[in-house]
Each structure stands twice: as structure tokens, then as C-alpha cells.
Structure 1
Amino acid sequence: MNALPPNEALVHLQSPDGSRATVLLHGGHLVSWIPAGGQEQLYLSPQSRFGAGASVRGGVPVIFPQFAEQGPGPRHGLARNRPWQVVQQDRGRDDALLVLRLQDDEATRAAWPHAFALELTVRLTAQQLDLELAVDNLGDQPFDFQAALHSYWRVDALTHTVVQGLQGCRYQDQVAGGAEGVQHSSRLELLGQGPIDRIVHEVPGGLGLTEMGPPPARRLALAFEGFEDAVVWNPGPQHGLSDLPADGWQHFVCLEAAQIQRRIHLPAGESWVARQSARCV
């Protein structure tokens, strides 16, 4: 399990079959997922910052209502460094469930002037992690937003890791200033020779993340529902990030469900829901 400061407010989940997860109330931030009989699947930087106002490096940050600097508010929005509340925690015959909620207040409205509520549902079964993000417009005016589940998947060696399922998809290459491209190969190899930062559009419902080797060390099958985009990101060896070890880039890849290109227009009183599932194969 990833190491966390002892004073952090967090929730532990464990399903009857032994799969485990840990969620910080700060940011509604999933920081650990260990399938039954398996190993840690998420990367959390040992140099990550915690506490009020901090943005945790690793796990699954909730991105809302803007992606990166694509809006007037703070980078990646306001949800990832606000306190969330537990509204439900259950354990069934073969699963464990947690629901967290974030609602607007005076501080959020100073950064983004809308009435809203977010609910993040975390569900564990033996080999699968399901994340559902729901957005409610509680105001009397519509609003537009972007969203993502910015997942840092742990790998032993980035240079032996490939992403599968993006063949034929258009993408924006942020490293190349937003240049458009098309993924022609059935496998995107993460060679680690430099940063990779792609926003991939109209992603199919299923993707694969595989560590190659004799035999493969691990394979994750990812399924998206309601999210139209995906992001593939790694900062590369010259990352210069103060909250990431010099060699930390070698041990994760961000492959995340996202809604970026087409902002969601949510009328007053309406809701939007999207999901990301990860299964160990």
C-alpha cells in the first residue's frame, strides 16, 4: 500500500474477498487500490504534498470543472483540493462501496460562480475498481464544464509498457503545441525518451494497459462510459517536478477517462454521470 501521512483524514475500503482501497477526504482522492491477492495498482509519489490547498501527486485526482489551464480557474479545477464528505459506506456479499460528496460553498463560488454538487462512487470487487462521477447543477442557470479521473497507474518500467485500443483515434499532442495526429498502430509504446501528453478524442469503450515481458507482469483492462476522451500523460526524465522523485516518471503512466474536447452543457436542475472501470486481467 502507498505510504500516507498519519494525520490525513481518509477512508479504508475492503471487500469480502480481500480487495482494498484507500481514499483521502481531501479532494475525494483515491490513493490506493490493491486487488484481492494482488499488488498496488496506483502510483503515489513519495514526495507528494498533503494538507489544505495541496494537490496530491498520484492516485486518482478528480478534475472539475476545467482541465489543465483550459479555463479561468485554478489548474485542473477546484475539486481536487477541497474537503469531501462521506455520504454512504457499505459492504455487500462480494463488494465494498463508498460515496463521497462535494458541494459548492463560498470558497468554491469565489473561484467558479455556480451552485453544484459532485458525487464520487468507489466500488470494489475482487479484481475490479469502478469509479463513477456525478455532477448536479443545483443553481438556476446552466453551466459548462470539463471533467476527468486523472489516474496514475503504477508500472515497474514505463519503457516496457504499452497502451492498446487507441488505433484510429484522433489526438492533440500537447508536447507539440496541440498539433493534431492520428494513432495508426494498435499499440502505443511508452518508450520514456521524453514527455508524452496526448488528449485522445472519441475513445472506444475499452482500452488496455500492459507491461510487456516474459510473461507480462500485469495487464489492466479499462472501460469508459459517458467519457468521450482519454488522456495519456507522462512527464519524462526531464520533468522538473518538485513533488516527484527524479526517477519517479519511470513508474507510472496516466491513462484516464476524460471529458475535455466537448464541454458538457448542464442545464439548471440536471445531472451528468460518467464511469471508469479498471480490471486486472
Structure 2
Amino acid sequence: MATPIALTRYQGLEALELLAPDGARAILLLHGAHLVSWTPAGGEEQLYLSPQSAFATGQAIRGGVPVCFPQFAARGPLKKHGFARTKPWQLVSAEVGDDDALAVLRLTDDAASRMVWPHGFEAELSVRVAGQTLELELACENTGESAFEFTTALHSYLRVGAMGDASLSGLAGLHYLDSVSGQTQRQRSDLLLPGSPGLEDLDRIYYQVASPLLLTEQGEGEPRRLEIRQQGFADAVVWNPGAAKCAELADMPAGGYEHMLCVEAAAIEHPISLAPGESWVGLQSLTLLAPAISG
């Protein structure tokens, strides 16, 4: 029988602590439906959260998994990454089952959202933890009377011990937009090495991502391997600000870029179009295949 999860607080904001029977754990805020922590069963923290991030009503949080909706970045008339990540979401359900913990939050249009985006919608974020896996499902339904389009992403900040030890595979053969240069190119090698020459400022949108990606971190012991899968999201964003841009971010320490890599499930190249009554669902799952990092 499922056991309800009570609301608690995290950094002064309302939160849910999901704790599965096997010890898998996550912390989800009602503010922005923002996931700020994920620890697999028997493992260590897998998400990066900036120690300088603000935790305040109406402000975006740096790190974890922000929900970008209904606009990605500045690719439209809305503020960067849309309004969903700074609005309060409603609790639909939160419970511990026989082998997992699951929470569902909902965001609907209101007078404030219609002033900047005049559409009726209902968005839901579902977060499930069990064993070595985190599942994030974002759904959107058009509840209005006219069609609309949106772009979106689950802006996952993945924690790494040292960027120089990390690589990302599964991108070979894909075309991508380099958001720094504005050029579209083709990924030729199987490994992307953030921080290596020419990649100090890494901001790419990869198109038509169908295969799993694998984040590998080769430290002194056994490599850490994190598998990243997505469904419903056609694109993936890979981002690391590098030293220069990171130093300009007020909510991030100057060396923070060395300990994170964003690998985001996204729908950007072809915006999602929904007629009245239609809905869309996108999923990102993270699975730890090898021991977690230390330090």
C-alpha cells in the first residue's frame, strides 16, 4: 500500500523529500517544480546545485533540474527559459510505493501567465526514484480554445568531480547548432570532452537524439557511468559555461563550471504544436551504472 509523503521545507521553500524503500532519494520543490537533489540507492549526489543560488519566490535556481517552459532560452518573446521555473506549482500527489517514490506537480495558466503567453494549458511534472534510476516526465495539455506552440527542456545539471575527467558519448553522427558561433555542424567523434581545447565555452543543441547518452567520469577508482535516456524530446542540449562565463554568473562560484555538465532533454528545433484538447509527453531518465563520485 502506498504511503503519502508530507510537505517539508528546503532552503525556506516548500518541498517534497522522496525516499524510496531501497534508499533512493530526491528533493523536489513546489517552486518551479524544481528538482534540487537526487541520490541513487547506496550512492551519492548526482546533481549539481550551486552553493550561491538564490532560493526565493520568483527567482530561478541555479542547478538541479529547472523546467524550461514554454520557451527555451531566449528563442522567443518571453523571458529566458519561460515562466514555469519561477512559478509555484500545485501538489497533485506524492507517495511511497512498494519499490519507489513518486510525486506529481501541476502548473496551469493564470492571469499572470496569460498576460505574457495568452494560452490555456495544464503542465505536469512527474518525478520517480527507485534503485539507481531517476525518471522525470513532463506533460502538457492544451486546455484552451486555440492552438499553440512551445519549446521546452529539462535543464539537468549533472555533477562531476572534475570536468577534465569527464566525457559524454552517444553523440557521434548527430548534427548540432553551436549556440556560441551560430553555426550548424556535425559531431564526428564519439566522445565530447568538455573543457578540452576549443570547448571551453560549450553550448550545443543536438538534433534527433535517439540513442542513449553515457556520461563517464574516469577518476582514480572505478569509472562513474551515468546513462541518459529520453523519449518525446527530439533534441539534447549540452552546456558548460567555461571559466570566463562562469565567473560572470552571480549565482555560481567562479570554479563551479569544473563540477557540472548540463545534459538536457529538449524540444527546440521543431516546437511542439498542440491543438485544443491535444497533449504531449516527454521523458528523461538517468541511471547510475557504476559507483557514484566522492568528494
TM-score interval for Structure 1 and Structure 2 normalised by the shorter chain? over 0.9
Deviation at 1:216, TM superposition (A): 4.1
Find the aligned partners of 2:184 and 2:219 in 1 and give their Cα distance. Answer: 32
Are 2:204 and 1:198 aligned? yes
Equivalent of 1:156 in 155, 161, 164: 161
Equivalent runs, 1:175-254 vs 2, <5 Å? 175-176=180-181, 178-191=182-195, 194-239=200-245, 240-254=248-262
Q: Do the aligned partners of 1:62 and 1:147 also contact (CA within 8 Å) in 2?
A: yes
- Per the alignment, residue 41 of structure 1 pairs with 46
- Per the alignment, residue 113 of structure 1 pairs with 118
Equivalent of 1:23 in 22, 28, 44: 28
Find the aligned partners of 1:192 and 1:167 in 2 and give their Cα distance. Answer: 17
Deviation at 1:205, TM superposition (A): 3.2
- The answer to which of 129-138 and 185-194 deviates more is 185-194
Deviation at 1:186, TM superposition (A): 0.9
- The answer to which of 186-195 and 7-16 deviates more is 186-195
Aligned residues: 277
Secondary structure of the residue aligned to 1:237 is: helix
Equivalent of 1:62 in 41, 62, 67: 67
Are 2:147 and 1:142 aligned? yes
Find the aligned partners of 1:144 and 1:220 in 2 and give their Cα distance. Answer: 32
Secondary structure of the residue aligned to 1:144 is: strand
Deviation at 1:218, TM superposition (A): 1.4
Deviation at 1:215, TM superposition (A): 3.7
Find the aligned partners of 1:269 and 1:6 in 2 and give their Cα distance. Answer: 37
- Cα deviation code 1:253-278 (max 9, x no counterpart): 00010000000110001100010000
Find the aligned partners of 1:24 and 1:192 in 2 and give their Cα distance. Answer: 35
Letter in 1 for 2:232: G
Q: Do the aligned partners of 1:205 and 1:225 also contact (CA within 8 Å) in 2?
A: no
Unpaired runs of at least 5, structure 2? 1-8, 290-295
Q: Runs of at least 4 residues of structure 1 off by over 2 A? A: 213-217
Equivalent of 2:88 in 76, 83, 91: 83
Deviation at 1:52, TM superposition (A): 1.5
Letter in 1 for 2:212: G
- Cα deviation code 1:121-164 (max 9, x no counterpart): 00111100000000010001000000100000000011111111
Find the aligned partners of 2:15 and 2:222 in 1 and give their Cα distance. Answer: 33
Q: CA RMSD in A?
A: 1.2
Letter in 1 for 2:126: T
Equivalent of 1:260 in 264, 268, 281: 268
Find the aligned partners of 1:265 and 1:8 in 2 and give their Cα distance. Answer: 33
Q: Do the aligned partners of 2:195 and 2:242 also contact (CA within 8 Å) in 1?
A: no
Find the aligned partners of 2:176 and 2:285 in 1 and give their Cα distance. Answer: 22
Find the aligned partners of 2:11 and 2:240 in 1 and give their Cα distance. Answer: 29
Find the aligned partners of 2:196 and 2:47 in 1 and give their Cα distance. Answer: 19
Find the aligned partners of 2:256 and 2:184 in 1 and give their Cα distance. Answer: 28
Find the aligned partners of 2:173 and 2:83 in 1 and give their Cα distance. Answer: 33
Unpaired runs of at least 5, structure 1? none
Deviation at 1:92, TM superposition (A): 1.2
Q: Do the aligned partners of 2:50 and 2:63 also contact (CA within 8 Å) in 1?
A: yes
Q: Do the aligned partners of 1:231 and 1:258 also contact (CA within 8 Å) in 2?
A: yes
Deviation at 1:198, TM superposition (A): 0.2
Q: Do the aligned partners of 2:70 and 2:152 also contact (CA within 8 Å) in 1?
A: yes
Q: Could you tell me the TM-score, scaled by structure 1's length?
A: 0.96
Q: Do the aligned partners of 1:48 and 1:56 also contact (CA within 8 Å) in 2?
A: yes
Letter in 2 for 1:79: A
Deviation at 1:6, TM superposition (A): 3.8
Letter in 1 for 2:188: H
Q: Do the aligned partners of 2:11 and 2:55 also contact (CA within 8 Å) in 1?
A: no
- Per the alignment, residue 169 of structure 1 pairs with 174
- Cα deviation code 1:155-184 (max 9, x no counterpart): 0011111111000000000111x2011111
Q: Could you tell me the TM-score, scaled by structure 2's length?
A: 0.92
